[in-house]
Structure 1
Amino acid sequence: MTTKEVADKLVGYCRQGQFDNAMKELYGQDIVSIEPKGAPMEKVEGFKAVMEKAEFFNNMVAEFHGNEVSEPLVADNFFSCRMKMDATFKQGGRQAMEEICLYQVENGKIVKEEFFYTPAPRDC
């Protein structure tokens, strides 16, 4: 798949809330996932670790109310999109979140993802 095809598939899955399907089909085995400084899991490496990170996030959520994903912006073997999510967290209540997501594609698979947002303050 081309970078554009990967980007379109990822956006389609995300718009339908099928994040696990997106990861299972589109992520490479050696994926690197980077979150902003201060996030619970700033950097994880490998498909299994990324799936565990997603499960960790899902376990923090009491209820999803909706999400919105922009059209992808593709350049060379990179693409980005804006994601917005409305969710009620088990701790912290209902929040609207917004982020820029940057992905790198090699050989038809996403090999790196990086998310840009302001993390919520954590209790010490």
Structure 2
Amino acid sequence: MKTQEVAEKLVQLCRDGKNTEAVDELYADHVISKEPKGTPMELTEGKAAVKNKTIYWESSVEEIHKATISDPIVSSNHFSVVMDMDVTYKEHGRMAMSEIAIYEVKDGKIVAEEFFYSVPTPG
């Protein structure tokens, strides 16, 4: 798949709430995932670990009040999306956050992802 196709497929799967399926289908075995410095999962390496991170996040959620993902912006072998979420977490209460995610694609698979956001405060 070309970068545009990977981007569009990821957005559709995320909009459908199929985050683990997205990892299974679109991510390379050696993918690297980065969160902001100082967060609990600052660096995650490998497809299985990224999938486990996704499953862990999903298990921490009590209720998703609203979640949106923008259409992708694609440039060569990279694309970005904006994700906005209003979520109640089991341990941290309700939080709204907005993040920019940037992905790198090689040979039709996501090889890197990095998320940029301010760490939200419960409320």
User: Is the shorter-chain TM-score for this pair beyond 0.5, marking a shared fold?
Assistant: yes
Q: Find the counterpart in structure 2 of residue 108 from structure 1.
A: 108
How many percent of aligned residue pairs carry the same amino acid? 49
8 A contact 2:62–2:89 mirrored in 1: yes
Q: Give ranges in structure 1 of 5+ residues lacking alignment.
A: none
Structure 2 counterpart of 1:72: 72
2:26 matched residue in structure 1:
26
Deviations 1:87-115 (A, max 9, x none): 10012211111100000000000000000
* Structure 1 residue 16, shift from structure 2 partner: 1.3
Aligned residue type for 1:41: M
Deviation at 1:18, TM superposition (A): 1.1
Give the CA deviation at 1:119. Answer: 1.8
Q: Check whether the contact 1:38–1:119 (CA below 8 A) recurs between aligned residues.
A: no
TM-score normalised over the length of structure 2: 0.93
Q: Unmatched 5+ residue regions in structure 2? A: none
* TM-score normalised over the length of structure 1: 0.93
CA RMSD in angstroms comes to 1.1
Amino acid at match of 1:7: A
Structure 1 residue aligned with 2:62: 62
